[in-house]
Amino acid sequence: MTPTLYLHWTATPYDWIRPGHYHSIISGDGRVHRLHDYNVDLPAHTYGRNRNSIALSCACMGGVPDPWTQPPTDAQLSSLCSEAAAVARSLGWGADQITVERVMTHAEAASNRDGRWMHDNYGPVIWGGTGERWDLLQLSKNGATDGGEQLRHRIQALLRESDARPEQELLAFRGITTIQARGRELSVQLDSLGRSWALASDLLERYELPFAWDASHRRLLIGAMDVSPTFREDGVQAEVGWPLFEMSLQSGSAPVILRGILRSGADGDRAWCRVVEFAEEFGISVGFDPLWLGERRGG
C-alpha cells in the first residue's frame, strides 16, 4: 500500500530534536535529523492518519506570543523538499505522482484536502476548520495560503532535475590505517578531514553486536537492548554524495542510531560509518592520539 508523506512544523525553537513524534526533524540550519526508520508507523504525528505514513517536520514556529518570530528558514524548506524527494525516489515515484493525495501538509491533512474524510475538520479556519492545526499553510508571515502546493512544486522540480543534475562530489577516503579496538587491530579509512571510517560490519562483529542487513531498505537492524540513541546534531548528511544507510534498533519504533554511507567497490556496496560516532552511540571507551577503542562501558 502506498504511504503518505505528511509535512509539519513542530511549533518549537529551531534546535528542538526529539524522537517519538516525527520520522525526521529538520533543525533551523537545514540539517536533517533522522530519528526513526521510515518503514515503521509512529503513533501521534497526524491525527487519524498515522498508519502507513511518513512524517517530516521543520523545527520552527516556536515564537511566543507570535510564532512567526521563528518562521521556517530557507534552509529548512530546502531540506524538507530534498528529503521528501529522496523518499519519493526510494518509493519509485516520479514528479507526476507528487500530488496532495501522496504529499500533504498537516494543514491540508487536518482539513481532509485529499478528499478522504478521515476526521472532523480541525484545520485552517479559511478552509472551514477549527484552526487547531495550520502547519505550512503559509511558508512566510503574511505569505500566500498555498504552502502545500508550493512545496509539492519544489519537490516535483527536484525529481525532474535529478537525472540532468551533474554528479555530486563524493566524500573521498584519503588513506588506510589501523587502530586498536578491544586490543586488536582494526582497519580504518581516513577522510579529508582526518575522520576515521570503518566497515559497520567489522565494528559490530568486533563488539559482538547482533545485526541483520535489510538491503531493500538500506538499513542495518541491531538486536541490542542496551543502546539508547543520542540523536546527535552532527549526523551524516546527504551532502557526502554517497547513498546513505541507517543503523536502527530492531524495536517497535525503530529509532535510528546513526547513518553512514554505502560505498561501492570491487566487492559491491559496503556500509561504512564514522568510528568515533559508532563508539559514542554504543558506549565504547575512546582514546585519542592515536585513536583507540576500548570496551563497551555504557554512557
Q: Are 87 and 39 in contact (CB under 8 A)?
A: no
Instruction: Please give the pLDDT value at position 128.
Output: 97
Residues 127 and 181 in one domain: no
Domain assignment of residue 91, given as a range:
4-161
Which residues lie below 8 Å from residue 144, measured CB to CB, with a gap of 6+? 138, 150
Using 70 as the pLDDT threshold, list the residues of the chain that sit under it. Answer: 162-168, 299
Residues 46 and 146 in one domain: yes
* Closest listed residue to residue 242, CA positions, set 188, 175, 191: 191
Residues 123 and 239 in one domain: no
Residues 137 and 210 in one domain: no
Each residue's pLDDT tens digit, 274-299: 999 999 999 999 999 999 999 998 75
Instruction: Please give the pLDDT value at position 72.
Output: 98
Q: Which of 127, 161, 195 is the last residue of a domain?
A: 161
Residue 281 lies in a domain: yes
Residues 103 and 156 in one domain: yes
Instruction: Please give the pLDDT value at position 167.
Output: 58
Instruction: Please give the pLDDT value at position 126.
Output: 98
Q: Which of 104, 137, 161 is the last residue of a domain?
A: 161
Distance CA 294, CA 285 (A): 5
Residues 83 and 104 in one domain: yes
Beta-sheet strands, E only, within 41-183: 53-58, 103-105, 173-181
Looking at the structure of the chain, the number of domains it has is 2
Which residues lie below 8 Å from residue 67, measured CB to CB, with a gap of 6+? 11, 61
Which residues lie below 8 Å from residue 127, measured CB to CB, with a gap of 6+? 107, 111, 113, 121
Instruction: Please give the pLDDT value at position 165.
Output: 52
Residues 210 and 145 in one domain: no
Instruction: Please give the pLDDT value at position 106.
Output: 98
Residues 95 and 239 in one domain: no
In degrees rounded to 5, what are phi and psi of residue 95? -60, -35
Each residue's pLDDT tens digit, 34-88: 999 998 999 999 999 999 999 999 999 999 999 999 999 999 999 999 999 999 9
Residue with grid cell 519519493, as numbered in its chain: 88
| Residue 235 burial (10 A CB sphere; 0-12, 13-18, 19+) | buried
Instruction: Please give the pLDDT value at position 168.
Output: 62
Residue 168 lies in a domain: no
Residues 264 and 219 in one domain: yes
What value does the CA radius of gyration of the chain take, rounded to a whole number of Å? 21
